[in-house]
Structure 1
């Protein structure tokens, strides 16, 4: 490429980030703004689609103010799942239903056989976050809006369309809902199995990262002060991009990672499909966008938001410089309205606290929330196979929290290695996108290791009394899950009755 500067955009759930890297992997510019388009109203978690474009362009423009050289390529990724619908004119058909939207949860209990049949094809059980079930919810509850939809996109595809005028979808993001990761194609039976009146015909053309490249449109170029025709690459999803940025994937030494952002994602790279263990129904499998192999991962609804929800709902907020607050409090951290999908898969999962008394302090509840997230992380990694003692690479906001990182190492009984920079997904995106540009085929290009996020010092697990306490508490946590989960659907029904009394 004539220039060595690559612009990358990650439109996330909480923030929208942009960065420019040179070909040696150095970040020469970075910008981050809040996601102003996200709207929460009970179990409705939506985004204004036009406002989302404005946020993306604002982040890019702020980033470019720091750059003096010429940009040679522009790569995109974004939050996964969700429904970003377009009408026949290519305009938004209402607001986007994000991956956190819980309205489709009500469908799940009535269609277990259909969900089983879809999971047999996709290896991913549909949840409230799945585009297929969100379309089904609209079909049943907003039929006029459903009838107007001509294209069902994800956020990164919506960004790509508005930046280039081209409809395109990268297979790794589409197939967990619509197809078979083994064949790399959408499956025509899925709409009928779920009772959808239309389905796969709404999808954009599906290809690899190497084939999802188009020129920046004149209009978008003018809004962001970029050259018309600049190559725009539809990168892998934010999950896979972050795993690459953490040094997990083909050609790298590590195979395990956990990401703690708005959600929590725990995954493992497998060079061969036959090596993937029998996974939990909430897990997903994707082909790697470059270099071969597969990513099996658990995408949890309840991640970094657990700590914010615990502070808001329970008044339990840790102050800077906090220390562990060990106690007999056991917390189930399922605050999100869509329940949970991995490693616990239940549409009506809800939060609960046990062992609370008048002596309990807010710090103890907040620490119990951190313990709960660590316990679920261990459950996810156990489901991904226990045949190794490999270190877990850690990214996301909590990678800057040394107290939580030590807790995580203690619970996992494995060393952890933080990557505390805020550019991990952007670095992984750059690594995959530049490989695709250089070779013209992402099937042949392993990610470029020069873009990997810098790693911190390894944190080893502690033994002794703390290890004994955590082992005992984790066993209680899991036994309580077994007991309480049988009541989640009844509790959700009670909530519905109560809402009608207001």
Structure 2
């Protein structure tokens, strides 16, 4: 068995996973996301570490009671942002979340000067305010002392691995955005120079080679209730982990993560950048040789639903009833789901993008508002998956996939079956799958992928939503000029 850990933006989960992909037990704990003035969104690394320790200890106790050995600790978690640490792994200031907007002005200036497009041409990464490039540039200007005190500028997963093993490392998937040439797994000096932060190259850890394992040190082992020296697998981060954990295996297959963010990604066997295309999304290195993930991660997924439910005074437990009370098209109401304070990052980058409702009347019901937002998120998913090159089947996971009614909307909008794994902790599954590969004991991927339910699209709804999707794209084009004017 393997203990898989998924350190999300707001929840940390640990699962005890069998080789057939099923979880014997899962424990979770919420983390604190600190939203501060100026668009700052931060987390405390010590609190995140404490959440990991707590859930792993609980799962390790169950593992001990089974009498079966734990073969490895497999860690995945949120990507992007900036988690500055010293040589001992202590944080140098609070961790900056991928949701952070403090560097929006940097990104605006890079868009105007051509820096964004130049970096995109070099690495295929379209930067957004909460990515490492603009965040490093912002700190270099406003808080240079933090960079001087830091030994490493990394991410959530490698911050945890450093505390548990003493190793300074980074998974190639995390390192991919925005400075990595994913074909060689080496940093682009030219991209760093374009961003004006080449002097801080020292803070970027070298990406670990595929199948690299680390060893749990004695202090961490005691805290976690696990044996010292236990193999530790670090990554990939949550988006690619969810892709592989939900069954993506063939080139052209897509993965839809309906979580805090709306993670849309497609497995590709080539790296190709359209120099005339939208400067958005990212290319990620994966644990698989000559396989890449073309990722289009919209900023907000289920948070859109949470917001609209709160606005109408309803809870998630009422979602099925609300969606059943409003027909496709939401009584003429349509929405754009760009509610993040840092705008949108895929399939286009617009730091000042904002959401909207149109078609409101005195006849509009609470259910219409909820359905319109759910449809808007589904349209955004299609926009991103098609931009990423979807040609195969689509797997879905995350909190939003638990809703039968919303899953049906996604299938109808996409116009293709939606495959949802029975096991909800697909991030931990993907991390565990990678760990077993690294141990030289790969699992049966077909067996893992077969454990899922399939949501078939309804032909009449597919035809209706095809028209709705075209109208959605027109709505974006009409709204974009106003985003800049309101910034």
Same fold (TM over 0.5): yes
| Count of residues paired in the alignment | 475
For 2:436 and 2:123, how far apart are their aligned partners in 1? 29
> Is the CA contact (8 Å cut-off) linking 1:124 and 1:283 kept in structure 2?
yes
Specify the SS of the correspondent of 2:184: coil
RMSD: 2.3
Q: Which runs of 5+ in 1 are unaligned?
A: 440-445, 493-502
Corresponding residue of 2:303: 305
Specify the SS of the correspondent of 1:258: strand
The Cα of 1:300 is off from its aligned counterpart by 1.2
Specify the SS of the correspondent of 1:296: strand
> Is the CA contact (8 Å cut-off) linking 1:424 and 1:453 kept in structure 2?
no
The Cα of 1:260 is off from its aligned counterpart by 0.5
The Cα of 1:341 is off from its aligned counterpart by 0.7
User: After the TM superposition, which of the residue ranges 44-53 and 344-353 deviates more from structure 2?
Assistant: 344-353
Alignment of 1:122-201 (within 5 A): 122-196=123-197, 198-201=199-202
For 2:277 and 2:457, how far apart are their aligned partners in 1? 26
- Would you say 1:288 and 2:286 are equivalent positions? yes
The Cα of 1:482 is off from its aligned counterpart by 0.4
> Is the CA contact (8 Å cut-off) linking 1:84 and 1:95 kept in structure 2?
yes
- Would you say 1:84 and 2:83 are equivalent positions? yes
The Cα of 1:187 is off from its aligned counterpart by 1.4
For 1:450 and 1:61, how far apart are their aligned partners in 2? 31
For 1:181 and 1:160, how far apart are their aligned partners in 2? 22
For 1:51 and 1:301, how far apart are their aligned partners in 2? 24
Q: Which of residues 481, 485, 494 in structure 1 aligns to 2:476?
A: 481
The Cα of 1:185 is off from its aligned counterpart by 0.4
For 1:20 and 1:282, how far apart are their aligned partners in 2? 36
User: After the TM superposition, which of the residue ranges 258-267 and 154-163 deviates more from structure 2?
Assistant: 258-267
Specify the SS of the correspondent of 2:109: coil
> Is the CA contact (8 Å cut-off) linking 1:421 and 1:453 kept in structure 2?
no
Alignment of 1:256-271 (within 5 A): 256-271=254-269
Q: Which of residues 36, 51, 58 in structure 2 aligns to 1:55?
A: 51
User: After the TM superposition, which of the residue ranges 200-209 and 369-378 deviates more from structure 2?
Assistant: 200-209
Specify the SS of the correspondent of 1:431: helix
Corresponding residue of 1:421: 423
Could you state the TM-score of these two structures normalised by the residue count of structure 1? 0.89
For 2:309 and 2:122, how far apart are their aligned partners in 1? 40
Corresponding residue of 2:226: 226
For 1:458 and 1:422, how far apart are their aligned partners in 2? 14
Alignment of 1:353-502 (within 5 A): 353-385=357-389, 388=391, 390-438=392-440, 448-449=444-445, 452=448, 455-464=451-460, 466-492=461-487
The C-alpha deviation readout for 1:348-393, integer Å capped at 9, x for no partner, is 111111112232222111110000011111112222336x4x4311
Corresponding residue of 1:217: 217
For 1:417 and 1:277, how far apart are their aligned partners in 2? 33
Corresponding residue of 2:69: 70
Higher relative contact order (CA 8 A, sep 6+): 2
Specify the SS of the correspondent of 2:346: coil
The Cα of 1:276 is off from its aligned counterpart by 9.8
